Amino acid sequence: PAAAAETKETPPAEFADAKYVDIGKKGLAALSAGDVDGWVAAYADNAMYYWNGGDSISGKAAIAEYWKKRRTEVIDSLNYSSDIWLPVKVNTPQQAAQAPGVWLLGWYKVNAKYKTGKRMSQWIHTDMHFDANDKVDRVIMYSDRAPINEALKK
């Protein structure tokens, strides 16, 4: 008897190409060095940047402007360590709000020294979604504002 043709069902999610990890690492290195333009080079013009508290910034230019101001007027130094990356391709969203396509999930420890002279250290989680041109079109950053607000006090 002839072997039955095998059909492989597409999983709801699967690992994505490791090239997305390189994009994430390169972006953090640029932001740490104060190269905001290098960091947003990976962003689409219509990118959206969200924080877990509900704040957001719309558009690559506005995201760059916000972070340039942060890096020159608010933050003296910024570095990242102990990073973990997981590139995932979502084939079938599990929730209505979840976008299909490639996501890069990143966890890392951030250490910042502020212009106030105070330091802040915490673990941050960031989700980055990529458009069809491999540009970041959505970022969701999960952080704790309490240590940041404390470091901003004079």
Average pLDDT, the chain: 94
Span 80-104, mean pLDDT?
93
Alpha-carbon distances of 8 from 5, 11, 94, rounded to whole Å? 10, 9, 20
Task: Report how far residue 22's alpha carbon sits from residue 28's, in angstroms, rounded to the nearest whole number.
Answer: 10
Task: Report how far residue 79's alpha carbon sits from residue 131's, in angstroms, rounded to the nearest whole number.
Answer: 27
Span 83-102, mean pLDDT?
92
Q: Which residues is 78 bridged to in the sheet?
A: 112
> pLDDT of 129-141, one tens digit each?
999 999 999 999 9
Contacts of 89 (CB under 8 A, 6+ apart): 13, 14, 15, 16, 101, 102, 103
